[in-house]
Amino acid sequence: MRLGWIAAGAAALLVGSGCSGPAGDDPVEETVQAVVARDYVALGDSYAAGLGGGGYVDTSCLQSKANSYPQLWIDAKGADAFGETVNNACSGALVGTVTNRQLTALDEQTGWVTLTVGGNDAGFVATLQQCLLGSDQTCAGSVKTAVGTMGSNLPGSLDGLYTEIRAKAPNAKVYVLGYPHLVADPGKGVACDALTDGRRKTLNAASDTLSETISKTVAAHDGFTYVDVRKAFAGHEACTKEPWIHAVGNDISESFHPNADGYAAYAKALLSATG
């Protein structure tokens, strides 16, 4: 499949059950096929695609072949743990993009789904631009707009997506991974472009609101688990001495996305949640 990995084939279990036909007839043998849900589908935006991890397999979705957290999780658990594995995540994806374009691989044989999405819907790209290039006032105003979107539009969009995922993959365990703080907390880390302590505080407060919005929506859906990665990244955000998140660099598209170490932290958090 496009942008996917093919692992071991799916298995099926046949269970025989006898029932009697009309008098004098031999019993009729019926077989019931039990679904074995072992396939894995990864969904979401650039954080699920692995943007920032390098080694991209395409120029549109910018999936990292080796360092996306879905691939690292597969490597950690071993390919034998899964049937077919597919990563449909794509950089720039919105909640609606996932709903309308990425759910094609889901079915009753899907046993695992991972998902990271919502940051683009909240307008974090524009917010970061304002906090890097604008004044304190424009930074604060952009963050306020983003937080407003999180409260008004995002919960309903996420709820609809989660409902659709469950309808298409009724047997799947779904793990929704959140976002880390993007920058070091005020008073910590190192100097970092225009990201002063005040702007860092504003950005990280917005990140907390995003995490809380996603986690509350996840909690309303059976079989869904929220994986919070903020503690995993603590002390390794952008603007620290040993960052796991890219600050502004030569490749602008990778800015404020995890590097290979960051995606390893994502995979470790997911492995801890899934066992």
Instruction: Pick the catalytic residue from 221, 236, 246, 257.
Output: 257
Instruction: Pick the catalytic residue from 46, 68, 207, 255.
Output: 46
Whether 46 sits among the annotated catalytic residues: the reply is yes
Q: 217-255 b/e with 16+ CB inside 10 Å = b?
A: bbeebeebbbbbbbebbeebbbbbeebbbbbbeeeeebb
* Nearest Cα to Cα of residue 176 among 57, 90, 47, 36: 47
List the structure tokens of 57. 């397999």
Question: Is the dihedral angle over the CA atoms 38, 7, 264, 87 positive or is it negative?
Answer: negative
d(CA 46, CA 152): 23
d(CA 61, CA 52): 12
d(CA 51, CA 62): 6
Instruction: Kindly list the catalytic residues.
Output: 46, 257
